[in-house]
């Protein structure tokens, strides 16, 4: 099992270039996919000024996270996806190895 920390910068402008004050950002929606991004499930909304999210206890495999900014008018930004691969831990080596001459 592993934990994944997502960090991000909140936008300071809208797509038309006009300023986007922090007070006009309602939250960032965080989604997760375990099938390479074909299907996403919502994890939570992260309200500003927070700019990180931690997902705990993920199994080994490929995980895709999707973040969407929602403003106070409930307008949603384009989605931003980031993927992470969690590799299973290696097994411990053998121990107490001894060699005998016979």
Amino acid 101: pLDDT: 96
φ, ψ (nearest 5 deg) of residue 24: -100, 5
Give the helix, strand, coil percentages of the chain, each rounded to 5: 5, 50, 50
Q: 62 vs 1, which has greater pLDDT?
A: 62
Domains along the chain? 2-86 (2.60.40.10)
Q: What's the pTM value of the predicted model, to 2 decimals?
A: 0.88
Amino acid 50: pLDDT: 97
Tens of pLDDT, residue by residue over 8-67, are 999 999 999 999 999 999 999 999 999 999 999 999 999 999 999 999 999 999 999 999
In this predicted structure, the answer to whether residue 87 has a pLDDT above a threshold of 90 is: yes
Amino acid 89: pLDDT: 86
């Amino acid at each position: 099992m592993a934990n994944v920390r997502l960090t991000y910068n909140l936008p300071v402008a809208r797509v038309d270039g006009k300023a986007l004050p922090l007070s006009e950002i309602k939250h960032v929606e965080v989604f997760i996919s375990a099938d390479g991004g074909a299907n996403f499930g919502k994890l939570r909304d992260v309200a500003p000024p927070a700019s990180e999210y931690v997902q705990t206890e993920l199994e080994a495999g490929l995980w895709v996270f999707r973040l969407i900014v929602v403003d106070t008018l409930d307008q949603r930004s384009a989605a931003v996806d980031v993927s992470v691969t969690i590799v299973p831990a290696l097994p411990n080596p053998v121990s107490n190895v001894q060699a005998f001459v016979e």
